[in-house]
Amino acid sequence: MSEVAHKTRSVRKPKGEGHVRRGEILAAAEQIFVAHGYEGATIRKIAEAVGLSSTALYMHFRDKAEILNEICLQAFSALHNRQLALSEAETEPQQYLRRLMLVYIEFGFENANAYRLAFMTPTMMSEDGSEPVSRKVANELFEHFKGGVRLAVEGKVAPERVKALTQVLWASVHGLVSIMITKPHFDWEDRETLINDQIDILIKGLLHP
């Protein structure tokens, strides 16, 4: 057993602090999923990391899929909240779209582990086959982004092109985030330069096809 797991095993949360324990489970699971992959992670490993028995962990989550989907839900919700806050701050359509892409990229770099799980790991159905709530929030994220694209290209492209253009922009910013967090030792140029150059190219390509 690891030293961290040994130390945390002796720390028991008083009754009524289940939400705190739940947060600890999610934090530990996030690291274990990234380190071992979804298949390599087990309920036992996650439980040991927070000083619980597997049986006790099942009091908080039904299965491993529910833990992963809760991590994804929290990531999607946090990013969506950033989008909503941005909606109130920006009015100029092109600048708003630029900020939407920048917020997405910044979120990915600031929350690399959660980003890997939310955007680079397949959605897992729970053992009972129920639809993950995280999928609904992920769709809301996309629709919000699509709304920003629609405003920026209004009068410039046919409305039926908006969905495809949104997917291209999303895939592009995702590509930058994912490759830089998975290949950190590559000789990258300054991150801010890469981000600004990418967004400039995307905006120009979108508005001047």
Tell me the pLDDT tens digit for each residue of 56-65.
999 999 899 9
The pLDDT of residue 164: 97
CA atoms of 79 and 181, how far apart (whole Å):
18
Q: What is the model's pTM?
A: 0.84
The pLDDT of residue 7: 39
Cα distances (Å, whole numbers) of residue 116 to 14, 47, 76, 120, 178: 33, 21, 12, 5, 8
The pLDDT of residue 131: 66
**CA-based torsion, 95, 96, 102, 106: positive or negative:** positive
Which segments of the chain have a pLDDT < 50? 1-11, 13-16
CA angle 109-113-119, nearest 5°? 80
The tens digit of pLDDT for each residue in 11-56 reads 454 444 567 789 999 999 999 999 999 999 999 999 999 999 999 9
Exposed (0-12), middle (13-18) or buried (19+): which is 93, by Cβ within 10 Å?
Answer: middle
The pLDDT of residue 18: 61
- Structure letter (DSSP) for residue 2: -
Cα distances (Å, whole numbers) of residue 1 to 9, 26, 35, 149: 10, 19, 16, 50
The pLDDT of residue 77: 94
